[in-house]
């Protein structure tokens, strides 16, 4: 049953062609409005939709709105370019003691592959797609940044398993850009991103793993990260492929705080995972596209602004059948050995008892 909320309406007596009239009885109307009241059973109201939810819902003659609640706006996506492992590995890092440090970097890295390769990518439904031939591909990343922070890690192991934890909190500013290209049987595709951000970031992880029992372990691990500050980014793509011919780009920004976390655990072949994310702040984006499809030229653009809170949750469970069968076999073997040992002990006990009885009777 949809929720009803009061809506003040002052619509003139105009004929509408909305769908089915409301079953709610209209209140008594003044004589001058007698002919208009029945026509106001449902008025205009399909002017704006988002994700299948009416932002303006149909109103009945009593002035109430019945329908689906308007979808909450999502924070626009902002392109982000993180420093490559090579850049961070070559960064100048100064130890301040007690886990404190400063870190600066400036440089870039590039990868290029001209070797023809046959690949099969997974579709959204999980099935393998058609084979594709990649003739050449490459990526280049460049960036500059500085951080000051504190971090550390610890790891312990013993008879019953091992545990580890690490964390980092830093204040910093950085900027970066990357570019990719791909040439293959599908066509040619070029893409690139650039971004900059400044603020406080924190990250941490912890894990506990048991020793092996019947060849299997049990454990739990968690990780989380957060950011408070501002970031801007821009990205684009130009392609001539079987699926897309044209160009599209996007620019956006975000100011506020965001956090995400993941908790995963396993017991033998059974694995489970929980994920969560949240944002609070203001975000804006502007994107556009020009493309050609079956003789038609398409031009489109969109602007979005979001202010407020957003959150998401997720969960998954996975069972490794092969490992489960191996574990079952190990349990069966252990049980058989235990049963065989028990039978042997019982037989030995009975044999000893019979020997005592025979000796008693002089047999």
Residue 310 and residue 203: Cα distance in Å, rounded?
20
Token pair, residue 181, equals 């290209």
Lowest mean pLDDT among 63-77, 178-192, 277-291, 306-320: 63-77
Q: What is the mean pLDDT of the chain?
A: 75
Torsion of CA 340, 341, 344, 349, to 10 degrees: -140
Residue that is written with structure tokens 């001209």 in the block: 114
CA-wise closest residue to 220 among 205, 230, 231, 209? 209
Which pairs from 293-296 meet CB under 8 Å and 24+ separation?
293/245
- Strand, coil or helix: 126: coil
Contact (Cβ atoms closer than 8 angstroms) between residue 38 and residue 22: no
> What Rg do the C-alpha atoms of the chain give, in angstroms?
33
Structure confidence at residue 219 (pLDDT) = 92
- Mean pLDDT, residues 136-146: 92
- Mean pLDDT, residues 200-207: 96
Per-residue DSSP letter, 15: -
Neighbours of 361 (CB within 10 A): 6
Structure confidence at residue 315 (pLDDT) = 78
Q: With 60 as the cut, is the pLDDT of residue 18 above it? A: no
Structure confidence at residue 207 (pLDDT) = 95
Percent residues over pLDDT 70 in the chain: 66
pTM of the predicted structure, to 2 decimals:
0.63
Q: Which residues pair with 236 in a beta bridge?
A: 192, 249
Structure confidence at residue 243 (pLDDT) = 84
Could you tell me which residues come within 8 angstroms of residue 346 by beta carbon, excluding any fewer than 6 positions away?
A: none
Model confidence band, residue 347 (pLDDT cutoffs 50, 70, 90): low
Residue 131 and residue 107: Cα distance in Å, rounded?
36
Give the residue with greater pLDDT, 186 vs 193: 193
Residue 176 and residue 87: Cα distance in Å, rounded?
11
Neighbours of 258 (CB within 10 A): 19
- Mean pLDDT, residues 19-47: 41
Contact (Cβ atoms closer than 8 angstroms) between residue 319 and residue 272: no
- Mean pLDDT, residues 226-241: 94
Q: With 90 as the cut, is the pLDDT of residue 167 above it? A: yes
| pLDDT tens sequence across 249-291 | 999 999 999 999 999 998 877 889 999 998 899 988 899 999 9
| pLDDT tens sequence across 281-332 | 998 889 999 998 888 888 988 888 888 777 777 777 777 766 666 666 666 6
Residue 102 and residue 85: Cα distance in Å, rounded?
17
Residue 349 and residue 354: Cα distance in Å, rounded?
9
The distance from CA 347 to its chain's CA centroid, rounded to whole angstroms, is 61
Q: With 60 as the cut, is the pLDDT of residue 224 above it? A: yes
């Amino acid at each position: 049953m949809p929720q009803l909320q009061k809506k003040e309406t002052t619509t003139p007596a105009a004929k509408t062609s909305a769908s089915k009239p409301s079953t709610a009885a209209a209140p008594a109307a003044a004589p001058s409005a007698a002919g208009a009241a029945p026509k106001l059973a449902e008025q205009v109201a399909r002017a704006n939709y988002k994700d299948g939810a009416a932002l303006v819902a149909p109103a009945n003659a009593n002035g109430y709105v019945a329908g689906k609640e308007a979808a909450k706006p999502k924070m626009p996506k902002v392109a982000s370019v993180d420093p490559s492992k090579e850049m961070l590995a070559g960064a100048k890092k100064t130890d301040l003691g007690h886990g404190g440090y400063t870190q600066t970097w400036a440089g870039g890295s590039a990868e290029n592959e001209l070797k023809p390769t046959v690949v099969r990518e997974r579709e959204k439904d999980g099935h393998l797609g058609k084979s594709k031939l990649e003739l050449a591909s490459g990526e280049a990343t460049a960036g500059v940044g500085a951080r000051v922070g504190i971090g550390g890690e610890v790891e312990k192991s013993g008879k019953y398993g091992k545990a580890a934890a690490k964390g980092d909190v830093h204040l910093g500013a950085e900027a970066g850009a990357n570019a990719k290209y791909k040439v293959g049987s599908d066509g040619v595709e070029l893409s690139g991103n650039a971004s900059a951000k400044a603020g406080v970031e924190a990250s941490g992880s912890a894990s506990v793993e048991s020793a092996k029992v019947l060849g299997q372990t049990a454990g739990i691990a968690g990780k989380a990260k957060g950011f408070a500050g501002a970031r801007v980014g821009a990205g684009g793509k130009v392609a001539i492929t079987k699926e897309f011919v044209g160009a599209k780009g996007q620019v956006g920004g975000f100011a506020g705080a965001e956090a995400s976390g993941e908790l995963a655990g396993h017991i033998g072949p059974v694995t489970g995972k929980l994920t969560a994310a949240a944002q609070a702040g203001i975000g804006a984006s502007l994107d556009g596209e020009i493309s050609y499809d079956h003789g038609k030229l398409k031009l489109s653009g969109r602007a979005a602004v979001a202010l407020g809170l957003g959150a998401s949750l997720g969960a998954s469970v996975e069972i490794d059948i092969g490992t489960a069968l191996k574990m079952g076999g190990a349990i069966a073997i252990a049980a058989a050995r235990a049963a065989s040992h028990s039978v042997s002990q019982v037989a030995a006990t009975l044999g000893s008892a019979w020997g005592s009885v025979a000796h008693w009777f002089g047999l």
